[in-house]
Amino acid sequence: MTRRTLVFLAATILMAASSTTVWAGGWAITTLDTTPGDLRAGETYEIGYTILQHGIRPAAVDNTEIRLHGPWKVGTHVFEGLPQGPVGHYLAEVSVPEAGEYRWEVTQGPFPTHDLGRLIVGEPVAIQSSTAPDILRTVLPIATLISAAFVVWQALAVRRLRPAIDGA
């Protein structure tokens, strides 16, 4: 190898190494405060998250949002993340109108979107028209009043009959 080839090869390696250093600042991850548990359609959930540049340092960004890509007929839902608390922490109010399987992600300002994976949203919880305690709260006072009225009626009946029994 000639000296010129060695210099060219060294310059190429040096340029390649320095270019990866320049691009190293362009990524971030999103961590959730807590993993959502049992999500139900129609209910609103506050989801807190932090954007971490290089996975370490909290990063403040101009705009961020949680995006839910739902079943084909539901489409995409977008929920704005608002700064809350320490630098890099955001809060979004998320409400999904229909049950199903969604793919969700967080936009991170100038950084690439962070995929959060799959999210299963269950059917809304049916509200029961009345439960046993509700029925007891209604029926028990009425039954008590009826019982009290019956006792009073019996006492009055005994008083009316008492003179007839004593006089016989």
Which CATH number fits the domain that encloses residue 53? 2.60.40.10
Is 134 found in the same domain as 98? no
Looking at the fold, whether 83 and 139 belong to one and the same domain comes out as no
Same-domain status, 105 and 155:
no
Same domain, 68 and 114: yes
E strand map for the chain: 28-32, 39-40, 44-53, 57-58, 64-69, 76-80, 82-83, 89-95, 100-108, 111-122
Confirm if 76 and 26 have CB atoms less than 8 A apart: no
Provide the residue range defining the domain that includes 155.
130-168
Q: Do 84 and 52 belong together in one domain?
A: yes
Q: Which range among 26-40, 113-127, 150-164 shows the weakest confidence by mean pLDDT?
A: 150-164
69 and 91 inside one domain: yes
Same domain, yes or no: 48 and 97: yes
60-103 pLDDT per residue, tens = 999 999 999 987 667 889 999 999 999 999 999 999 888 989 99
- Please tell me whether residues 142 and 66 are part of one structural domain: no
CA distance 114 to 98: 23
Q: Would you say the pTM of this structure is higher than 0.85?
A: no
Residue 155 counted as domain residue: yes
Average pLDDT, stretch 126-153? Answer: 71
118 and 135 co-located in one domain: no
Question: How far apart, in Å, do the first and last CA atoms of the chain sit?
Answer: 143
**What residue has token string 């209604």?**
138
pLDDT class of 110 with cuts at 50, 70, 90: very high
Please write the tens of the pLDDT for every residue from 14-30.
665 554 444 456 899 99
Residue 116 covered by a domain: yes
In a domain, 40, yes or no: yes
Half-sphere exposure of 100 (CA within 13 A, CB side): 16
Q: Do 53 and 69 reside in the same domain of the chain?
A: yes
What value does the mean pLDDT of the chain take? 81
Specify the number of domains making up the chain: 2
Judged by average pLDDT, the poorest of 35-39, 60-64, 137-141 is 137-141
CA distance 114 to 80: 15
DSSP state of 127: P
